[in-house]
């Protein structure tokens, strides 16, 4: 064989958090594109389902630098999706240990392993309540809870690496993620379907969702723009809309009457705080969280023009089309 007959090594894409909703969707999308992908998971129990789909899997933990060094071996590109989301009973330091220091350990391993580029998944939650909507990438940080604060720290660490030139990469801030297979939005849809949903407050503050299928496309768009590094991009759906309008769209697609009940904000915020203070020290899941009340009281509206301009991003479908397809998926799989 002549030297010029040697085939180049395939460029490997590592996806952290590959067993989660977003990570799994990204793995499948890369696989469909024909891009070699390696899934990284923390729990060995997540390995068989991924391997059954033909996906190579590595087990590693964001707490463990040596395991991360092994995971990035031979990897060219990393999509860092893994994160510790809101869970009752966990000490606050654990959120920082995973979402901030875990990001630092992964990036150190990536630098040591010769990884070319990283797309880091943050959240629009680092901006908290939007006082002057729509918010863009220049809006100030305003995190509202420990998850958002830890994600803010992780984002800042990633940007330090990218902007210092240690490694190339960008930060993606998704809006509220939903899509076929999403179990968190399923709770909302089920409450509306069973006529158990009620508003806290007026229901007129804006919410802004992003379909997971749009999000994974945006991740790949950001990875492919190798001339861009150190930037932040907000990725959101077609439009923000009042929560009332979103709920009415869901109700109409489900074929049920839209909810009409409105409860006052302050008593429920007080109740949520009391439940958390009593239940969390006892490692009991509170029946109501303050943050669930905050879902109704925080404005979320975002400007995606930077992603459109620099990445070529645009949502594929309207909110109405997305909701119809999500509900159809839930029904097809017996979830609704």
Instruction: Identify whether the C-beta of residue 196 lies closer than 8 Å to the C-beta of residue 6.
Output: no
Phi-psi region of 181 (alpha: psi -120 to 50; beta: other; left: phi over 0): left
Instruction: Identify whether the C-beta of residue 223 lies closer than 8 Å to the C-beta of residue 119.
Output: yes
Does 260 fall in a domain? no
| Dihedral of alpha carbons 22, 23, 29, 30, sign | positive
Does 264 fall in a domain? no
Domain count along the chain = 1
Does 152 fall in a domain? yes
Cis omega (within 30 of 0) on the bond before 117?
no
Instruction: Identify whether the C-beta of residue 259 lies closer than 8 Å to the C-beta of residue 296.
Output: no
Neighbours of 114 (CB within 10 A): 12
pLDDT tens string, the chain, 336 residues long: the values are 454 555 566 899 999 999 999 999 999 999 999 999 999 999 999 999 999 999 999 999 999 999 999 999 999 999 999 999 866 667 889 999 999 999 999 999 999 999 999 999 999 999 998 888 999 999 999 998 899 999 999 999 999 999 999 999 999 999 999 999 999 999 999 999 999 988 887 888 899 999 999 999 999 999 999 999 999 999 999 999 999 999 999 999 999 999 988 777 776 666 667 776 777 676 777 666 666 667 667 889 999 999 999 999 999 999 999 999 999 999 999 999
- Strand 57-59 to strand 168-174: parallel, antiparallel, or no bridges (unpaired)? unpaired
Residues 6+ apart with CB under 8 A from 271: 288
Site of tokens 């009752």: 88
Domain around 32: 11-181+208-239+299-317
pLDDT for 277: 73
pTM above 0.85, yes or no: yes
pLDDT for 256: 97
Percent helix / strand / coil, the chain, rounded to 5: 45, 15, 40
pLDDT for 278: 73
- CA dist., res. 19 & res. 28, Å (int): 11
Beta-bridged to residue 16, according to DSSP, are 40, 80
Does 266 fall in a domain? no
pLDDT for 287: 62
- CA dist., res. 41 & res. 332, Å (int): 28
- CA dist., res. 212 & res. 82, Å (int): 15
What six digits make up the tokens of 238? 């077609």
- The helix (run of H) or strand (run of E) holding residue 116 is none
Does 262 fall in a domain? no
pLDDT for 327: 98
Does 161 fall in a domain? yes
Does 106 fall in a domain? yes
Does 277 fall in a domain? no
CA-closest candidate to residue 37, choices 20, 49, 50, 22: 50
- CA dist., res. 189 & res. 329, Å (int): 12
CATH of the domain at 68: 3.40.50.720
pLDDT for 168: 99
Instruction: Identify whether the C-beta of residue 155 lies closer than 8 Å to the C-beta of residue 126.
Output: yes
Helix (H, G, I), strand (E, B) or coil at 142: coil
pLDDT for 1: 45
CA-closest candidate to residue 167, choices 75, 60, 246, 291: 75
- CA dist., res. 93 & res. 252, Å (int): 43
Query: How many degrees, rounded to 5, is the angle at CA 136 between CA 289 and CA 215?
Result: 70
CA-closest candidate to residue 119, choices 83, 77, 62, 68: 77
pLDDT for 108: 99
- CA dist., res. 147 & res. 250, Å (int): 28
Instruction: Identify whether the C-beta of residue 21 lies closer than 8 Å to the C-beta of residue 183.
Output: yes
Q: How far apart are the first and last CA of the chain?
A: 59
pLDDT for 85: 87
């Amino acid at each position: 064989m002549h030297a010029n007959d040697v085939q180049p090594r395939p460029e490997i894409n590592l996806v952290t958090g590959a067993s989660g909703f977003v990570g799994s969707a990204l793995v499948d999308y890369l696989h469909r594109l024909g891009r070699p992908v390696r899934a990284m998971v923390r729990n060995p129990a997540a390995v068989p389902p991924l391997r059954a789909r033909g996906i190579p899997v590595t087990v590693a933990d964001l707490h463990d630098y040596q395991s991360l060094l092994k995971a990035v071996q031979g990897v060219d590109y990393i999509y860092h999706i893994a994160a510790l989301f809101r869970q009752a009973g966990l000490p606050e330091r654990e959120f920082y240990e995973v979402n901030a220091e875990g990001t630092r350990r992964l990036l150190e391993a990536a630098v040591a392993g010769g990884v070319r580029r990283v797309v880091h998944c943050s959240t629009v939650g680092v901006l908290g309540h939007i006082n002057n909507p729509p918010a863009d990438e220049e809006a100030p940080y305003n995190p509202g809870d420990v998850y958002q604060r830890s994600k803010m720290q992780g984002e800042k660490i990633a940007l330090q690496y990218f902007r210092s030139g240690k490694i190339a990469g960008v930060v993606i801030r998704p809006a509220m993620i939903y899509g076929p297979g999403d179990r968190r939005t399923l709770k909302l849809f089920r409450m509306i379907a069973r006529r158990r949903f009620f508003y806290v407050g007026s229901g007129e503050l804006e919410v802004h969702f992003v379909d997971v299928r749009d999000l994974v496309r945006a991740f790949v768009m950001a990875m492919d723009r190798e001339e861009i590094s150190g930037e932040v991009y907000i990725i959101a759906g077609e439009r923000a809309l009042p929560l009332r309008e979103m709920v009415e769209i869901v109700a109409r697609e489900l074929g049920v009457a839209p909810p009409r009940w409105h409860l006052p904000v302050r008593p429920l915020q007080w109740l949520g705080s009391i439940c958390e203070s009593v239940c969390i020290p006892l490692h009991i899941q509170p029946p109501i969280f303050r943050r669930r009340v905050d879902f109704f009281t925080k404005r979320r509206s975002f400007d995606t023009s930077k992603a459109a301009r620099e990445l070529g991003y645009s949502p594929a479908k309207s909110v109405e089309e997305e909701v119809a397809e999500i509900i159809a998926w839930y029904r097809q799989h017996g979830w609704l």
